């Protein structure tokens, strides 16, 4: 098997709370690997720790605990001066392209800036490469002379993609890259990302709460709840046979494309526990319709399912009582 591009082991990230002495447990013992040419989807509700994991993984945030390796090299606590040379091989595309780009710089310069930072090209080479990148992401050359406020959201996201691939990165973090775009533009951006990955072999960590998008682009999926992985596995397997009660409830909230199709819901009661005082056991236990007293004692270990690297952290799997009742 190929060496992972990114390996994350027992990642922990805490933030100080608003009150003195409080600790926000944003990410709790998260472990995963990402391989060349693979897209790993990271899904969960807002506040589940998706973006924090992505930013820790590429050292935009300092981890509280755990180990992060890029191409086998431990980068967990590298000082910024040593992280800087890695930036050309690790890129991130943010949710809001308007905020990701300097409004005072023309589009051509925005793309060329990445080449200046991460390549040895001279001015002429950077201009030629910028035109090449614009063509690659389907941007007209005349747009390079414009400012960001003169472009549409879809065009701006293409600029962000051109900047991200300018240095031929091995790892790209995509943090909700299509959530601010309308459906038609979203589809074209997703197709573009898949084409670029096929041609470059870059590994992608795709962070989103849009389940349909994640199922479309991802090879494997991690499902997060309160900063912990509750289920992971091949995309098709997780979507067709969700094992963890939280995954079942999350997928049941997705609206089908056919408006005539009857809705099948797993309704939950209660509030999501706060990340300051986490439950001692399974984080989903306070809201889980099939929880028993043992669920609240300790965080359950992941159970292997179906022999395809499909795992879920739920003790009710042992006796087959992990399936939630449907409510129409």
Q: What is the pLDDT at residue 326?
A: 65
Instruction: Spell out the domain ranges in the chain.
Output: 242-319
Q: Pick from 100, 159, 156: which is nearest to 134 by CA?
A: 159
At 141-193, the pLDDT tens digits run 999 999 999 999 889 999 999 999 898 999 999 998 887 777 778 888 888 88
Write down the mean pLDDT value for the chain.
Answer: 89
Joined tokens for residue 265: 């819901």
CA distance 42 to 220: 9
At 68-109, the pLDDT tens digits run 999 999 999 998 888 888 888 999 998 888 888 999 999 999
Q: CB 243: neighbour CB atoms within 10 A?
A: 24
Query: Is the model's pLDDT at 294 over the cut of 90?
Result: yes
Beta bridge partners of 205: 40, 173
Q: What is the pLDDT at residue 4?
A: 94
- The percent of residues in the chain predicted with pLDDT above 90, rounded, is 56
Q: Pick from 207, 168, 161, 218: which is nearest to 188 by CA?
A: 161
Strands 6-16 and 23-34: antiparallel
CA distance 268 to 84: 45
Q: Which helix (H) or strand (E) holds 187?
A: helix 183-200
Q: Pick from 242, 231, 245: which is nearest to 321 by CA?
A: 245
CA distance 176 to 93: 8
pTM over 0.85: yes
Q: Pick from 122, 216, 113, 210: which is nearest to 162 by CA?
A: 113
Beta bridge partners of 74: 69
What HEC string does 251-283 produce? HHCCCCCCCCCCCCECCCCCCCCCCCCCCCCCC
């Amino acid at each position: 098997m190929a060496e992972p591009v990114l390996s994350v082991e027992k990642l922990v990230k805490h933030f100080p709370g608003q009150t003195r002495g409080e600790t926000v447990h944003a990410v709790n013992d998260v472990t995963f690997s990402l391989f060349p040419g693979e897209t790993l989807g990271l899904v969960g509700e807002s506040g589940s720790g998706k973006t924090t994991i992505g930013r820790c993984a590429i050292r935009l945030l300092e981890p509280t605990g755990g180990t992060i390796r890029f191409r086998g090299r431990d980068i967990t606590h590298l000082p910024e001066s040593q992280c800087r040379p890695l930036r050309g091989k690790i890129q991130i595309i943010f949710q809001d392209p308007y905020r990701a780009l300097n409004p005072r710089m023309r589009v051509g310069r925005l793309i060329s800036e990445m080449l200046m930072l991460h390549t040895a090209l001279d001015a002429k080479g950077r201009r030629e490469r910028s035109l090449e990148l614009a063509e690659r992401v389907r941007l007209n050359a005349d747009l390079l002379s414009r400012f960001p406020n003169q472009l549409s959201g879809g065009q701006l996201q293409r600029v962000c993609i051109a900047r991200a691939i300018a240095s031929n990165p091995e790892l790209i973090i995509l943090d909700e890259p299509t959530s601010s775009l309308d459906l038609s533009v979203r589809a074209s951006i997703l197709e573009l990302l898949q084409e670029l990955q096929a041609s470059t072999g870059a590994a992608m960590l795709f962070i989103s709460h849009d389940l349909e998008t994640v199922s479309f682009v991802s090879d494997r999926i991690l499902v997060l709840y309160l900063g912990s992985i509750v289920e992971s596995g091949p995309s098709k397997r997780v979507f067709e046979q969700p094992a963890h009660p939280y995954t079942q409830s999350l997928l049941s909230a997705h609206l089908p494309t056919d408006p005539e199709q009857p809705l099948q819901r797993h309704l939950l009661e209660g509030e999501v526990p706060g990340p300051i005082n986490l439950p001692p056991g399974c984080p989903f236990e306070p809201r889980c319709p099939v929880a028993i007293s043992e669920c609240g004692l300790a965080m359950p270990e992941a159970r292997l399912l179906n022999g395809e690297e499909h795992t879920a952290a739920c003790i009710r799997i042992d006796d087959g009582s992990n399936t939630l009742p449907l409510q129409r």
